[in-house]
Structure 1
Amino acid sequence: MRIYLLNNTKPYRDGDEEYSGEWFNCPVDFEEVREKLGVEHEEQIEIADYELPFDIHSDMHLWEINANCRMVLEMEGTPIGNEMKAIQQKWFDSFEDFIDHRDEIRFYDVGDGAALAEYLIREESVFGEIPHELLKHIDYHSYGNELEMDDRYLFTASGVFRYQ
């Protein structure tokens, strides 16, 4: 995660070898920005480019970007963190909505619809208690196909997610 910040008090001129900007890893330490760009206040910088798992707007404050980056780092290595972009695109209008509701996202460590169907029926008893002798007659693949078509589920390489 990184952003390209410009010193907006030093505009680019034809003939200059480079812009008065630099890439910074996130979360950004403003002291480092101050040192490298020669600025005193956040109002003197402009975000020119970014490589982040969330969208930003030009008037977004550095502390907001840093806060979002810290949340991303907290989720790093988790199933939700690994599939953050897909989850956000499926159910949420913004990164902030995703963060606000991330605790409502359920993860199932299964590979496909049939495995999810079997887990839901056997472990979570979605249809109530089913006698053991009937469990072997259930068509998990058929029910799994229905689950794959259901908008409440997101099937990914990491597993299956459900937004409740």
Structure 2
Amino acid sequence: MPNLLAADNVTFEQQFPDTYTATIIAGYFGKNKEDVMDASFLSTTDLMLNDKGLANIDGIEIFTNLHTLELSNNKITTLPESLSNLTTLTWLNFSANKVTKLPENIGNLSNLNYICASDNQITSLPISFNSLPAKTEKWFLNNLLPVSAGTQDQLLLKTGLDTQTN
């Protein structure tokens, strides 16, 4: 989906193809899904969408100024590739969902200080994962990553990736 702008008189339901997601995000701003997205929404730096029952976050890329994106305890199975365009993100938490893989270009999140993907169903990490800043705190507890006891300590030392209970 192309990135739409509030100046284009785009409504929440046009930006977010999933009706429920459009309703939840519009409500976050005190609006209805049929309302036009005001330019002030686009300057939002924090979106706290924990425990909302979200299954689909397609369209989230419109919030290009985000620093914090909280999506824990939802029903998300797929993170859109467009998430990698949110290059101002410093904090990303999508723990306790049903995500099976990360976007291929997750490494584009060059300002990321913290990522929590614990309690998902992630089975592998994309190559670009290694491009995340060394300072990034990475939490991947309770996933399906194939990490042996011998390599777990190496990963933790090299990347700060905590993969206990995988």
Determine which structure has greater relative contact order: mean sequence separation of CA pairs < 8 Å that are 6+ residues apart, divided by chain length: 1
More strand by share: 1
Query: Which structure has the greater CA radius of gyration?
Result: 1
Q: Per the shorter chain, which TM-score range?
A: under 0.3
TM-score calculated relative to the size of structure 2: 0.24
More helix by share: 1
